Structure 1
Amino acid sequence: MDFLLARGPAGTRAASYAGPLLLSMRLLTFIQLRATVRLPNRLTRRVMARNAAIPPESPAASGGGSRDPESGPLTLSLPEQIAARLSERIIAGAYPPGQRIMEQVVSDEFAVSRGPVREALRLLEKDGLVTILPRRGAQVTSLSIDEVREIFNIRAVLNGLRDRGLAEDPDRARVLPRLEAEVEALARLVREQGAYVETVFRLNRFLNGHTRNGRLRTILSALALQTLRYSRLGLSTESRRRQSIRNWQRLVKAVRDGDGEEAQRAAERRVRDSRDAAIRELEKQGKT
């Protein structure tokens, strides 16, 4: 779907660990999810703009989500649309780590001036997806195995805190039906890597949106995009996806029982299993 037809109104590795909340929208653009959680200000606007473009018959439109009835039609700026398309390619591996992204090539492809392309690349740099180097321009960020390990370790701890908080929340019934439904969907999608990863992201986003810790929510959202390429690697086999489902099922039971400690253990185990599998795949590819 070429959503660039509908135009709206007109670097460093260390920074990649704390990209802005805007990056979650561009991740949603990649997997074409529907918004079901109220998100803050600019992110809500951008999520809803993208969701509005999904036709009713598309797989994403039947993915279990629903539009926020309080939000009207919204649009993305042209740089945001370009950034969304480029992030899609980076996450899917069409632009591998280390590849340069030439402004003029992107400008010619989308029939736009270089100004919006330059701004789109700045957005991706804030997201940690590209690095802009003096006299070399933008290139896809490449993480070493040690850096992948570090980010997954951070995610494991933060997801554990999030899920423990949800399980111990007296109002946890507000998340349980959706959590149960999404985990049941995962069990049905175990043979489909792409759909499985999309559903995992949708579920994590839902849980992020219901944590009462706003800073935790922001950091988790920022880390999601940076690790998606590697999460896909970590869920590349059916046996790994079945292992993942078991950990999600443990979380469902823990939330139902109000067992915060078990919820935390399940979350940490889930992320660390993904970390270990991703690193094994990277090592097979000769990465260091």
Structure 2
Amino acid sequence: MRPIRLTTVTPAEQIAQHLGQAILQGKFAPGERIGEQAIADLFSVSRGPVRDALRELDKQGLVEISPRRGAFVVHLVLNDVVDIFNIRGTMMGLAARYLASRPDAAAFETLDARLDELRQLAGEDDTSLVEFVKAVGRMGTGLILHCGNRQLASTYRNLPHDAIWQMLWVHSKPLDYERAARRIESLQGYERLLAAIRAGDADAAEAGMRRIVSESCQEVIAHMRLTRAEPFDDFRLHVV
């Protein structure tokens, strides 16, 4: 591999991002030991930032640090990734149901503004893929924060696999929304979702939100399967 230049975030954060993405893409084998010195040489840093990065990946569940032995890649399979999407989709669907059951003017003000942002980005020929993904994330966050269920919002924010979720989406090379047609499809899904919430149709709102997450899951898994040959339970894609 060629040396990688570090940018604005801390060295440890960027090393963790790159290693985490590489693990998710199957570039490290499950159980493989990640050598600190080799990674330090790759990023042209001392071993200190590498240790910090590995500790962060340990918290995220992507590596396991064993005393006096080092860091080893956790066997995170495609089924695990789909399960993460299904958990998120179920919780976000519940948030949509809550909001549709008790519409809130402040929520619509926030969500309408975020939908306008998404609409603008989806219509631009030179759209930044990362910015579009972040806008999608802000839509979901707005829905969770305004659903009126504090326990749901708190649980969602503190899910243990949040870092994996971020790596799958908000990274320099997101695994969804690469195609313009896919970005339009996502926009239309959110337009239908807000229409259902406004109409007070809780069933349609929940189903619509789950469908949005499910479609993104299918795109991500299709992308990951290009670099990962492993058994996979297709039924998981249709649970939510």
TM-score by length of 1: 0.60
Give the equivalent residue in structure 2 for 1:284: 226
How far off is 1:141 after superposition?
Answer: 4.8
Instruction: Provide the rounded CA distance (Å) in 2 between the counterparts of 1:88 and 1:268.
Output: 27
Q: Distance in 2 between matches of 1:240 and 1:91?
A: 25
8 Å CA contact 1:83–1:124 kept in 2: the answer is: no
Correspondence for 1:227: 165
Distance 1:286 1:153 in 2: 20
Of residues 212-221 and 195-204 in structure 1, the stretch that sits farther from structure 2 once superposed is 212-221
Q: Normalising to structure 2: TM-score of the pair?
A: 0.70
Q: How many residues align?
A: 208
Q: Equivalent residues in 2 for 1:9-48 (5 A)?
A: none
Within the alignment, does 1:204 sit opposite 2:169 as a pair? no
Give, as a single letter, the amino acid of the residue that structure 1 aligns with 2:163.
L
Q: Counterparts of 1:69-108 in structure 2 under 5 Å?
A: 83-90=12-19, 93=22, 97=26, 99=28, 101-104=34-37, 105-106=39-40
Deviation of residue 106 (structure 1)? Answer: 4.3
DSSP 3-state at the match of 2:76? coil
Percentage of matched positions with identical amino acids? 30
Q: Is the 8 A contact 1:160 1:265 kept in 2?
A: yes
Equivalent residue in structure 1 for 2:8, among 2, 8, 16: 2
Letter in 1 for 2:119: A
Structure 1 distance, partners of 2:93, 2:86, is 11
CA gap of 1:276–1:176, structure 2 versus 1, over 3 A, is same
1:167 and 1:254 in contact (8 A); partners too: yes
Structure 1: segments with no counterpart, 5+ residues: 5-81
1:144 aligns with 2:77: yes
- RMSD after superposition: 3.2
- Which one of 153, 156, 170 corresponds to residue 217 of structure 1? 153
User: Cα gap change, 1:175/1:83 in structure 2, threshold over 3 Å: closer, same or farther?
Assistant: farther
SS in 2 for 1:2: coil
Counterpart secondary structure, 2:15: helix
From the superposition, tell whether residues 178 and 2 of structure 1 become closer, same or farther in structure 2 (CA, over 3 Å).
same
Unaligned stretches of 5+ residues in structure 2 = 1-6, 231-240
Distance 2:54 2:14 in 1: 11
Distance 1:277 1:260 in 2: 26
SS of aligned partner of 1:132:
strand
Give 1:132's aligned residue: 65
Cα offset, 1:160, TM superposition: 0.4
Residues 108-134 of structure 1, C-alpha deviation per residue, up to 9 Å, x if partnerless? 8455x73x7545533332223433246
246 and 258 in structure 1: CA distance in 2 versus 1, 3 angstrom threshold: same
